Structure 1
């Protein structure tokens, strides 16, 4: 687990919002100012640096390496060395600052001899090993310590009782573990010096009396406390309410339990309260209205219950309200409209109710992101939203909304993301005629609406003034009739297309290969006939490295949830993380699988199951070196399984069950990990159970099983639709409480 943390430091740092005084511009100015100070001040010094400090720094240099090497020479004054600053009186080292210098190695224990140092910054390097045991007790003048973004390990020494000068401690994004000793900051907090304490993204397990509840003072200087991304258990640490100057408190992505303590609501200066992805329970107390300076409230992915406080709108400075994935009930509080500075409102995956069209969103002119998906709201698409001109993303999916899309939606000129899937909307063609006027739409998810309507086939929908920015288009689970509309061929920026779980007839269109950016195609669970078109083997993003490398890697305004065949949703915040895939399962396709399929070198998922493909499995599939899932089950394939497939080293899911294959199943590579069920239903296949045992004959399928597998395709589609509507399909909004840890799925791309 720690290796995963170590390789994703930057990613996690981006997920936790920074405070205004910790932004990248501020940091750059601080570094530039410090740099000038380091370069100019020593030029006025006449004496050489202290010998003890000189030797301590040489010891540090001997334990690390860097490229280019540090210009620390034993024959020169250490006060002139890179990153070193000395005081003017006695030339003692007071600052060592080498952030992002490419240092690797360990921290020398002799660094504790720098007894006059006030600032030590070795952040954003590759330092290993533990900290010297007496680091804090020896460096009694230390004010700023920044060792963040390294690979440091071990536990923190409790010997810091005399460290009273500390103002900033940043040990984030390392691999420290154990408990946080109470003596580590109690003395600094009690002395009124410590303002910033950040140990996020480590493996600390407990607090060990972190908050000084018995120091007799509620005038501590601590203003920034970040404990997020650790393994903390138990409850929120008692005594947090005594940190009266606290402005930022983060403890998300841990295993904290219990309710929100009332003492939190005494922190009148609090700007940010961030406790997501824990196991907190109980209601949100009305005392939260005491936090009148609150700007960010994020307690998503917990087990909070009860209604949203009715007077939450009294938090007039609130900008982000993120309470999604909880068990909240009741309606949207009317007072919420008074939080006119609100920019992001996310209440997805709760049990909220009420007529959404009756809520007045119009005062929320700064609202950019609205996510109310997977609740129990009724009514129509709220017309008051059309006056929120700053909106860039709207998700109302998974509710009980009715009616049609209004032409007034085109007033949202910045709208890029719209998901209203899994509702009861009507008039699909009319909706698309209107929505093509939203020129900046990049993600449009309308799945599981418009039941049994004809698939929108108005050729004007693909005109140059419509949907030309669209990258994700999902119309799955609508039970549309008709054929794949040809106007889609004009959407040259389209990257992901989902038309699954419909009643679409005709053939798989070869013109899909003319879309230069398309890499995700889901036409599964339809009534398609004909063969696998050779043109599909020439999709640019799936065949050419140059095209694959150009896939848009920017973040989507809201995550999309894709669940082709699994029991839990997969969340994608970037389209480039979406697995390049072709899903054609559960149709009536026939003929052989073309040997040209070996050209799809950048595909990750190929699912041709539940069709009528015949002939042999092309050996050329072994060219698909990025393939992770290959499903050829329930077809009429014959011959042997190509032995070359065992060289597909990323293949983690494989099935050829219920075909007419013969011969020996390949052994070695990934094939040794596939279950016998991947091969059953092929009476001529020999399955080696272990290298020392003889071939295992797969049993003949009972006639009644085979008959079920060959049932009418319409019947198969209808059964699949019931499954899809219950669990969620394609780009639908099939959320479940398994979504609690909100995985951010990263996929390998080459």
Structure 2
């Protein structure tokens, strides 16, 4: 009886479903025809979809054998576009939906959550937007979910943790954010998880590290934090690919990672992992190991253990341990690495010693990077055996000796950077065999001889750096071959001869720097035809003749430096010459201009109008007449010189000087400072002392100037001197201290002497004004003065960050480096730690000297090894701002155990921020405005309450600006442009009646 009942029920079930299949057959066809009508089909692949044909035969459609129900819709890479129709959810028997690599846009329909039989849904490489529907969490049979490379936003719904059958889950390259739900740890069948290149934040769920079936894990380029679990390798025994790069993961790498013996690809770069460099034993399948940009440490002994642990990784192709804190030397066990090695990078560490021997083993090596370390010794000649090498970077070390004649072997080389070492000898002509070379840097060495003509025959070269050597000779005519050259830097050599006219044909040239050589003759007349030129520096040569008018056409030029030559004639009046901040003509005594602004600011003569050469006889007559007039003039000067000396008094402030003063020698400085007398000592800095000096120039003019004398006993003082000269070379702003000139010579003991001669600021620095010696009287700076000083400093920093090309980062903003002139206008000084934010290799080499700033003002990320940035400057400015308006140094004794000035102020309630302010400011403001304000007292305009309220609003506003500039995360800080805009608005509001 029971047996019969079961059969009856089964028959009833089959009849019911068979009826359902028959009744819904036409529905599937209608759904597909509706889909076709709503999408654009440029390739006409859906042209066969017609109502009079069997839909199961249509392109991309697969049906069940019984009932012809649509089970699969597969239409990838067909350039289809339109919105995804919600009606597709009526394909209730659909098992697989693949519309990848098309142009579908709009949101993912919520109704897709009704496709309960769905196993696969693939929609990557489209333009889908909106959020992920939580209803998709109902698809319990789903094994593949791929929405990668779209424009999706929002969070991952926790309901996705219910997709218990899921094996592949990919949301990479979208705009998703928020925290990754811990519920994903319930996906115990998951083998692939791709969440890279989104905006996920928060701690990465440790529950995901417990999914033992996981083979592929990628969460790169997010903002995730967390640590690898202690049993990481044990919990993920099947993991093959581990991508955690570009996040904020921290902690040490557990030793258990070696238990994940199937690992093939490890990428942990750009995180905060620390501790000893990890060891990777028994990873026989490992092909790529990337640990760069973390905080791993090592010693010579640990380095040996690390490379020894990779002995059995015989398939290793990529090894990158760059940008960490590795120290010690590279052991001989480097030679035991896999012979399959293609990329080897240890750049930007603290490694020393000689380069490892045995490198000739790595015949497959494509890229070798040792740059920015402290390696010494000679370059091993066996590197020449690496015939497949395409990239060799060993710049910024202390390598010495001659460069072996190995270039002829590098026929595949396209990037060769060996600059900033101590290489000597000559450049071998064999370098011309590197026919594929696009980047060549041999600058800042001790190379001599002439530049091989073969270099100028490298037609594909885009960047050439040979500066800072002892190269001589002239530029060959072959330079015209380099039609793709964008950067040519030859400064600081002994090159001579005329500047080849063929250089006019380098149409791609953007940066041409040839300063500090012995070039003579005239500037090529058609140099202005280099339409892409952004920087032209021909300073400190022996060039003669006029400035070519063609230079007026350089519309993209940012820096034009023709100073210290023997140029003559009239300065062009158009184009770049209308912008005084872009060019430098100093030291050309025969140049003149009809533009009075150029005359006043650049020290050229005023052109005499209307006089022309008469005839060749004038060349004989004029010298005779001139000599006679000179003799008579000398007699007159001799008789009157005593009278003029008596009438001339030493100026108490900077006397306006026409042009550049004469070259100031050590003797001049010694006399001006009264043998560096203690009473002329203004202050001391990190790399020297500043003196007040009374100078008398040969013109009879006098000026009181400040002299910064470098203490060359300090190891980095010379580098500070160079950095400051370079930083201030082309910047001009009313709120930057003007450097008049520099002195680099020998003192009377024959020892090296370096000094900078600058404007003198009679009101000293801001630190002295904020904290006078008379402590009881307190600072004399009023509220308005402090606000003006803050705006002045912000204006200077805004100029450096946003108006200089490349941007300049000061790196040491503090009150002691803010100087006040006679009108209490602030000027930013001391650029000894400054650096440029340029991408050119030569400038990237100039690293910050030690720690980037002063204690209390240093941005927190600098303590973690971050590179100098404008956001770091903003942090220092914010601390200075808070200090000015709270009268508390950031190094005050109250700031201990993690408490800082910024945290102290930010801890205050929004309405209590004035509790930390310097209360004397309100009293000062009330007093200074009371006497000058008249009006109806009943209106409140002249009342105490009104002015106190204005002062409080101003102070509170400034403090809030300071807090916005000192946010813990750099990305959360304001820019200097935002800061100065807000400060100016606060001032306007305060002064408005």
**2: CA distance between counterparts of 1:479 and 1:280?**
42
Task: Give the 5 Å matches for 1:626-641.
Answer: 627=509, 629-632=511-514, 639-640=522-523
Displacement of 1:597 in angstroms is 0.5
- 1:422 deviates by 2.8
Long gaps (5+) in structure 2: 1-29, 580-593, 604-658, 664-724, 730-740, 747-751, 755-832, 836-841, 850-864, 870-968, 970-993
Q: CA deviation at 1:254?
A: 2.6
Establish whether residue 448 from structure 1 lines up as the match of residue 391 from structure 2: no
State the Cα distance separating 1:347 from its structure 2 match: 1.0
- Cα drift, residue 318 of structure 1: 0.5
Does residue 621 (structure 1) correspond to residue 503 (structure 2)? The answer is yes
Q: Alpha-carbon deviations, 1:46-98, whole Å to 9, x = none? A: xxxxxx9xx99x999x98579xxx9xxxxxxxxxxx996999xx74354454x
CA gap of 1:326–1:535, structure 2 versus 1, over 3 A, is same
1:554-597 superposed Cα distances (whole Å, 9 cap, x missing partner): xxxxxxxxxxxxxxxxxxxxxxxxx7432223434454433211
CA distance in structure 2 between the partners assigned to 1:595 and 1:332 by the alignment: 57
2:438 is aligned with 1:484: no
The answer to whether the 8 Å contact 1:325/1:737 transfers is no
Write the mapping of 1:196-595 to structure 2, written as runs, cut at 5 A.
196-200=121-125, 202-207=126-131, 209-212=132-135, 217=138, 219=140, 221-313=141-233, 314-356=235-277, 359-379=278-298, 380-381=302-303, 382=306, 383-399=308-324, 400-407=326-333, 409-410=335-336, 412-428=338-354, 431=356, 433-451=357-375, 453-456=376-379, 459=381, 461=382, 466-538=385-457, 542-543=458-459, 580-595=462-477
Tell me, in whole angstroms, the C-alpha distance in 2 between the residues paired with 1:691 and 1:156. 58
For structure 1, which runs of at least 5 residues remain unmatched after alignment?
1-51, 71-81, 98-116, 121-138, 549-578, 729-733, 741-750
In 2 relative to 1, CA 175–608 (structure 1 residues): closer, same or farther, beyond 3 Å?
farther
RMSD, aligned α-carbons = 4.6
Q: Which residue of 2 aligns with 1:148?
A: 77
In structure 2, how many angstroms separate the alpha carbons of the residues matched to 1:436 and 1:595?
A: 38
Sort the Cα spacing of 1:204 and 1:506 in 2 relative to 1 into closer, same or farther, 3 A.
same
- Identify the structure with the greater helix proportion: 2
| 1:38 corresponding residue in structure 2 | none
Equivalent-residue separation in structure 1 for 2:230 and 2:866 (angstroms): 26
Q: How far apart are the structure 2 equivalents of 1:443 and 1:628?
A: 27
**Displacement of 1:523:** 0.8
Contact 1:213-1:238 within 8 A present in 2 as well: no
> Given that residues 84 and 93 in structure 1 are in contact (C-alpha distance below 8 angstroms), is that contact kept between their aligned partners in structure 2?
no
Number of equivalenced pairs: 567
Specify whether residues 316 and 708 from structure 1 end up closer, same or farther in structure 2 by C-alpha distance, changes over 3 A only. farther
**Alpha-carbon deviation of 1:447?**
2.0
Residue 146 and residue 372 in structure 1: after superposition, are their counterparts in 2 closer, same or farther (change >3 A)?
same
| Residues in 1 aligned to 2:37 and 2:226: alpha-carbon distance in whole angstroms | 59
C-alpha displacement at 1:631, in angstroms?
4.4
Inter-partner Cα distance in structure 1 for 2:868 and 2:162: 35
Does residue 180 of structure 1 match 2:108? yes
In structure 2, distance between residues paired with 1:408 and 1:192? 55
Match of 1:674 in 2: 557
Q: Secondary structure at the match of 1:196?
A: strand
Pick aligned residue for 2:602 from 686, 699, 705: 699
Cα contact 2:353–2:377 (8 A) shared by 1: no
Q: Give the whole-Å Cα distance in 1 for the aligned partners of 2:183 and 2:118.
A: 22
Q: Secondary structure at the match of 1:480?
A: strand
> Retained in 2: the 8 A contact 1:277–1:302?
yes
Distance in 2 separating the partners of 1:687 and 1:719: 33
Mean Cα displacement is larger for which, 621-630 or 508-517?
A: 621-630
Task: Tell me if the contact between 2:506 and 2:530 (Cα under 8 Å) persists in the aligned partners.
Answer: no
The one of the two structures with greater contact order (alpha-carbon pairs below 8 A, sep at least 6) is 1
Residues in 2 aligned to 1:155 and 1:351: alpha-carbon distance in whole angstroms: 42
Q: TM-score of the superposition, structure 2-length normalised?
A: 0.50
